[in-house]
Structure formats: structure tokens, C-alpha cells
Amino acid sequence: MKYRQMGSLDWEVSALGFGCMRFLTKKVNGNEVVDEENAINMIRYAIDNGVNYFDTAFPYHSEMSEVIVGKALQDGYREKIKLVTKLPMGRVTKTEDFDKFLNIQLKKLQTEYVDIYLFHGLNKQTFKLVKKLDLIKKMEEAKAKGKIKGIGFSFHDSFDVFKEIIDYYNWDMSQIQWNFVDHNTQATTKGLEYAVGKGIAVVVMEPIKGGKLATPTKEIEELIERAPEKRTPADWALQYVWNHPGVSVVLSGMGSMQMVKENIESANNSGINTLSQEDLDLISDMAIRYRKKSIIPCTFCLYCQPCPSGVNIPQNFRLLNELLWIENKEEQIAKYNTLATSEEELKTMEDEGNASLCIKCGECLEKCPQMIDIPTELEKVHLVLGEKQEISSVFKLFLRGPSFVDKEKFQVVGVDDIGKRETRNPATIWPKFQGLITKVPHKDQSHALAISIITKELAEKGENRFIVCNEVSKVEDVPEGMITETFPAQKYAVFTLIGKLNNLGETYRYIIGDWLPNNPNYDRSPFAPEFEWYDQRFSLKSDYSELDLYIPIQEK
């Protein structure tokens, strides 16, 4: 087993960590339960083969994961590993809940302490709760009592929120979702490197995107077969994460002994900066093709379950996503029709309902770490698989999203133009920007922005202000001919356009004319800036280009 430094902590961690949320299950008296014997054997096999990092949480496997892990760590196994679990933020309502849950978890795990205790799934809202209830003080008190050794958090939100959390406290570790498809979402590569720069250990979850990256399309299989280095799809995904020098440990939610053995072998062959440029180019090609074939970004984490209406949300999304993967609509419709369609059927098929049973209660929205608009997407799933409408008429296949981002206040330096959209010539403003931006210090070169601003005065003239710019950390030495602007914090719906720009107009028409008027939760924020985000995924003439569109929104 290969080992790495755990951030600024004084111990080394196995390159592979064992995520305890995807154990093999079986039916017992009609209920889905963990195959306990299998899970314990897998855990002990992993420890015997050098894995020393185990990650669980209160809600995993209907609150049974910690119990099973506790059993597996008897007979001297606890002393061989670092054990991590999480405070269930979704159930914390008062400060006293911290001690209640930690004590329950230590009892279930049959241990006197955990090596790291995490705030589970921090985002903008739950982080406010951490501060409001002074829960970091509770962490420090528990550490002083010896119940926990280190303090950290797992995370699902935007880079700006991640940076805010990182800067708030001297954390021991952070756990983020990061893989070769999702490296530009949530915490992002920039966030990973920001945490590492502060000496904070980074643990990566979802390296194989809930198993999705282990099941390639024929097109991706052909890419892999042509590669000089022979690896399985899962191994390519894992090696990409291990290749980054800032990653301390890669978590894999393993559900079979075969998976444990294969991942241990991959870990034994891992290394920092060992992938060639040819390898990285191949992975980049795979990433683009994966994103184009994934409509709904569900990772099957099951956080949204159980649904009050009995809908099996992840299974509905899986059936829809597989429609592009295997291109056999009748097969997917047949599978969809095996799910329950009524309360009567749910009596014998608990939590196995199809999308038609969704009542749009919204309970799932705050639980989803991928920030999917679940009720809206379920409605579309039923139109395709239940009412047999063409997928291209229900989903914009060149469009993904939205996800929702709370972007903090930011500064830009760029060039601007005021006029009518239809008469503006991009071939004039972009070259001017590119000629001047090289002289600007403190700029973020990972992306450029094209910002559109409409004021009341401009709206009356049918005009807008258009700024092509880079974000900057500090405004200094601005060249003549460039402008500076500061934009306030704002919530955005983020859509991703896939392919050439000839669909850009239709994309904006859909967002403004269809998505916004029919969205029950959000309106467009009046006169707030909207912008296009150009990074390394964008290519002007490629069918696999990606361009993010940020639409300012406010709650209704």
C-alpha cells in the first residue's frame, strides 16, 4: 500500500480510503439490509492489506453503517486504522445535539474516540448553523476530552462558500467531491489547492462519480482501448485523483470484495504526478464525453431517500441517464414500469415508486449534495419514460443544469461596451481584452467572464453593458483602456451549454422564456448581472465544448 502525508497532521494515510456507505445489501423479510458478514470481511481484508482510513457517517445505510464498522473493528482492528465519522447536520437544531449525536456514534462504533470528526455536508446554510450554534467550540471541547482527535468537514457547495469555510477556522481536513468530470464544480481544483496551501488535508470522495465512471459508453471504451497504458475505466478515474499532489486520500465506497481487491491494486500502482501528458489528454477526452452523456448529475448517494411519497429518486434518474448510455428506450421504459405507480402498490414495494408519484413537496431539495432540482427533473423523467415522449423534446440535450451557486462579491478588470446585443461585434471586444489583460496583475487566469448588465436606463433604450474581463484578487496597475468593476454577492442558477455556440440563442430563450416563468422557487433578480464563464473546457468550434451560463436569481 502507498501512503501519503495527511496534511499538517503527524500521520501518514493510505492512498485508498474505505467509504462505508455502499456496502452490499440483501433482502430480509422484504427489507433491504446490509450483508453484515460480507461488509465485515471486506473491512478486515482492506485493513490486512494496508488500508488505514475508514469513513462512515450517522445516516449511512439507515443508521447501521457505524454499527457494522464498530463490529468489524473489534479483535484489535481498531488500533490499526484512523476512524472518521460525521455530525449529521441535517438533524442538528440546537447546540446540545452535538454531544447527543457524538455519544451515540461512539457507542455504535464501540470506540472511545474518533480520529477525525466532520461536520457532514457543509454548504452555505449549514455553515450558518455551525456559527449560530457555536458548534466549533463544541468540537474543541470534545477534542479536549479526548473524544475526537481532529476537526474537519465534508462539503457540497461552490468554491466561494468553500473558501469562506476554509478561511474561518484552522481545520485539520476537508472532504470534497472531485474527479475528472467534476473537477470544475463544487469546491473545484482551485479550492482543493487553496486548502492544501493552508496545510489542510484534502480527502476526495466520489472519485468514480458513484460508479458512473466505471461504466463507459462504447465511444469511451474505444478511447481506452487505444491508450498505450492498459487500465480499467475505474483505474483511470482513481489514478487521475491520485496524480494530484494535494490529495491525501481517495475514498471509495466499496460494495464487493472484488472491488476492494481491484482498488487496493490500483492504490499500489498510484503515484503523484505519474500520469503522462498523453494520459491526461485521454482523460480530458473521456470527461467531455461522459458529461455529454449524463443528463442528470445524480451519483446515487441516496441522501434524498426515503421520499415522503415513496419515489425511488435515484433509480428514476439512473433509468433516464442510461437512456443516453445504452440507447434502448423500450428497455428503460420496461424497467420504469416495474416501479410502483400508486399508494396501493407502495404497500408491497416500499420506497420503489416511479416519478409520477412526486408531489413536489421539496423535502429532497436541501438534501441533494449535487443541488439537483429534483421535482422538476422527476417530472421530465415521467414525460420520457412514463408518457413516452421523445427525450430531445423534454430535455435540451445540449444543456445541463441548473445547479445553484451563491457567488460572493467579486472584482473584475476588463473592457466594456454599451449598445444593442444584436449589433455588438464580439470580434472587436475580445481581441482588445486579450491584448490588454496580459498586463494586469493579481488576475485569475483559470477563466474569463463575459458579463451582461442592464440598468433601467439601458433597458429603456434596448441596450446593455457588456464587459469581457478576468476576476482579480486586487485592483492594481490597471492599463489605460480597461475598466474595473465590483459585483455584490448573488445567487445564480448555472446552466452548461455543451457543443458549439449556435445553440446559445436557443439556450437563453429556454432559460428566460421557459425555465424562469415555470420555476416555482425562483425569479430572475432584476438588474443583477448575468455572465458567461469561459475556461479550459470551452472551444469555439468543438461539439464537445462547454460554456457555463450564470443567471442571477432570487427566491419568490
Stretch 308-325: mean pLDDT: 89
Who wins on pLDDT, 243 or 302? Answer: 243
Give 423's pLDDT tier (boundaries 50, 70, 90): low
Stretch 533-546: mean pLDDT: 87
Give 540's pLDDT tier (boundaries 50, 70, 90): confident
Stretch 117-138: mean pLDDT: 95
CATH number at residue 550: 3.20.80.10
Whether residue 410 sits in one domain with residue 390: no
Q: What is the pTM of this model?
A: 0.77
Q: Decide which of 354, 371, 395 is a domain's last residue.
A: 395
Antiparallel, parallel or unpaired: β 464-472 and 410-419:
antiparallel
Residue 544 has pLDDT above 90, yes or no: no
How far, in Å, CA of 190 to CA of 192, rounded? 5
The pLDDT value recorded for residue 122 is 93
Q: What integer best gives the mean pLDDT of the chain? A: 92
Phi and psi torsions of 158, nearest 5°: -95, 170
Percent of the chain as helix, strand, coil, to the nearest 5:
40, 25, 40
Give 403's pLDDT tier (boundaries 50, 70, 90): confident
In a domain, residue 496? The reply is yes
Whether residue 160 sits in one domain with residue 212: yes
Whether residue 237 sits in one domain with residue 119: yes
Lowest mean pLDDT among 70-79, 276-285, 391-400, 530-539: 391-400
Residue 204 has pLDDT above 90, yes or no: yes
Stretch 59-65: mean pLDDT: 93
Whether residue 419 sits in one domain with residue 337: no
The pLDDT value recorded for residue 240 is 97
Lowest mean pLDDT among 201-205, 300-304, 429-433, 464-468: 300-304
The pLDDT value recorded for residue 342 is 93
The pLDDT value recorded for residue 107 is 98
Residue 329 has pLDDT above 70, yes or no: yes
How far, in Å, CA of 506 to CA of 154, rounded? 37
| 413 grid coordinates | 478588470
In a domain, residue 302? The reply is no
Q: Measure Cα distances from 349 to 316, 338, 339, 346, 511 in Å.
A: 15, 10, 8, 4, 37
The pLDDT value recorded for residue 459 is 84
The pLDDT value recorded for residue 422 is 66
| 225 grid coordinates | 482501448
Whether residue 549 sits in one domain with residue 497: yes
Stretch 176-202: mean pLDDT: 92
CB 243 within 8 A of CB 272: yes
Q: Measure Cα distances from 320 to 273, 288, 295, 327 in Å.
A: 37, 19, 8, 10
Whether residue 486 sits in one domain with residue 361: no
In a domain, residue 93? The reply is yes
Whether residue 88 sits in one domain with residue 128: yes
The pLDDT value recorded for residue 212 is 85
Q: Decide which of 225, 250, 277 is a domain's last residue.
A: 277
Whether residue 508 sits in one domain with residue 458: yes
CB 388 within 8 A of CB 333: yes
Whether residue 221 sits in one domain with residue 83: yes
In a domain, residue 118? The reply is yes
CB 37 within 8 A of CB 71: no
How far, in Å, CA of 105 to CA of 85, rounded? 8
Q: Which domain holds residue 337?
A: 313-395
For 520, other C-beta atoms within 10 Å of its C-beta total 10
Lowest mean pLDDT among 196-210, 278-292, 319-333, 511-525: 319-333
How far, in Å, CA of 283 to CA of 216, rounded? 12
Residue 478 has pLDDT above 90, yes or no: yes
Whether residue 415 sits in one domain with residue 372: no
Phi and psi torsions of 394, nearest 5°: -100, -45
pLDDT in tens, 17-40: 999 999 998 888 877 889 999 999
The pLDDT value recorded for residue 528 is 94
How far, in Å, CA of 337 to CA of 316, rounded? 11
Q: What percent of the chain has pLDDT over 70?
A: 99
CATH number at residue 10: 3.20.20.100
CB 180 within 8 A of CB 213: yes
Overall domain count for the chain: 3
| Category of 155 on φ-ψ map: left (φ > 0), alpha (ψ -120 to 50) or beta | beta
How many Å separate Cα 315 from the centre of its chain? Answer: 18
The pLDDT value recorded for residue 393 is 87
Whether residue 103 sits in one domain with residue 38: yes
In a domain, residue 296? The reply is no
Lowest mean pLDDT among 81-95, 141-155, 520-534: 520-534
Who wins on pLDDT, 156 or 50? Answer: 50
Q: What percent of the chain has pLDDT over 90?
A: 68
pLDDT in tens, 344-376: 999 888 889 999 999 999 899 888 877 788 998
Stretch 300-327: mean pLDDT: 87
Q: Decide which of 277, 292, 324 is a domain's last residue.
A: 277
Closest CA to 21 of 106, 76, 85: 85
Taking the alpha carbons of 531, 370, 267, 163 in that order, is the dihedral positive or negative? positive
DSSP state of 148: B
In a domain, residue 234? The reply is yes
Alpha helices, DSSP H, located in 412-485 = 426-437, 456-461
Closest CA to 35 of 72, 74, 86, 78: 72
Residues, the chain, total? 556
In a domain, residue 12? The reply is yes
The pLDDT value recorded for residue 301 is 80
The pLDDT value recorded for residue 215 is 86
The pLDDT value recorded for residue 500 is 86
- Secondary structure (3-state) at 109: helix
Q: Measure Cα distances from 391 to 91, 317, 380, 483, 544 in Å.
A: 38, 13, 9, 44, 20
In a domain, residue 482? The reply is yes
